[in-house]
Amino acid sequence: MCWSATADLVAGTAISAAGIAAVAGTLHHGRVRELPLAALPLLLGAHQLVEAAVWHTGGGTGPATTAWAVIALPVLAAWVPLGVLLATPPSGRARLYTPAVVGAVTAAVLTWVLATRTVGAEVRERTVGYAIGLPHAGWLLAGYLLATVGSLLLARDRVLRLLGVLTGVSAAACAVLWRTAFVSTWCAAAALASLVLVAWALRRTPSGSRPAPRHPAGPAAPAR
């Protein structure tokens, strides 16, 4: 979420471009299993562009509002932990199954909620407020955070763990600013996360692995 339609449009375009770079870098290095996570900025960019449409329509209950909620809630709840799980080598996946399962269950519940209830959006000065009426909101929020932020914090790759820390801190800061109706800054958080993912996708060392140790050069062993 950004503070205006123009800001959402600019941020969405820039974040989508970062997503293209991340996907290209992943394909260049032949890391197909990392594609879902590398493509996350494309999803975040599309999310910003959808909200630009929400701004232009003045909120309400139209298709743009519903699309925003679908991406923000069930899609991200399932996408992020699954992407982290796939990007991690099999030997390091054991602790990632829990957030992946929690994400799938949370996404299923959120999908049911969105299918049975109407999502509304209201423009509030420099923010957009969304009304969904989630049942058991505390439990759903806990499951959502465990699936998204938790999976990143549990990743073996240190860049993904850093992304988890940045995402958690950014989410808390954005929530405070949004609740005060001061300004919405989630687009800045999404841009920061996308830049981290671009750096992660362009690295040379595969996710969760360590470069082979380099031994000092010495005389060659005699042939036998």
| Domain membership of residue 130 as a residue range | 5-202
- The domain tally of the chain equals 1
Is residue 86 one of the residues assigned to a domain? Answer: yes
Angle, vertex CA 7, rays to CA 5 and CA 13, nearest 5: 100
pLDDT, tens digit, 9 for 90 and up, residues 66-84: 999 999 999 999 999 999 9
Is residue 208 one of the residues assigned to a domain? Answer: no
Question: Which CATH number covers residue 10?
Answer: 1.20.1070
Q: Categorise residue 144: left if φ over 0, alpha if ψ from -120 to 50, beta otherwise.
A: alpha
Is residue 117 one of the residues assigned to a domain? Answer: yes
Task: State what percent of residues in the chain have pLDDT above 90.
Answer: 60
> Per-residue pLDDT averaged across 102-113, rounded?
96
Query: Please, which pLDDT band fits residue 168 given cuts at 50, 70 and 90?
Result: confident
pLDDT, tens digit, 9 for 90 and up, residues 130-139: 888 888 888 9
Is residue 39 one of the residues assigned to a domain? Answer: yes
Residue 206 has pLDDT above 70, yes or no: no
Angle, vertex CA 208, rays to CA 100 and CA 108, nearest 5: 10
Nearest to 44 by CA among 178, 166, 194, 201: 194
pLDDT, tens digit, 9 for 90 and up, residues 143-152: 999 999 999 9
Residue 172 has pLDDT above 60, yes or no: yes
Is residue 181 one of the residues assigned to a domain? Answer: yes
Q: Which ranges of 95-185 does DSSP label H, i.e. alpha helix?
A: 97-116, 137-145, 151-153, 158-179
Question: Between residues 59 and 154, which one has the greater pLDDT?
Answer: 154
Is residue 221 one of the residues assigned to a domain? Answer: no
Residue 207 pLDDT: 56
Is residue 207 one of the residues assigned to a domain? Answer: no
Is residue 76 one of the residues assigned to a domain? Answer: yes
Q: Which helix (H) or strand (E) holds 80?
A: helix 76-87
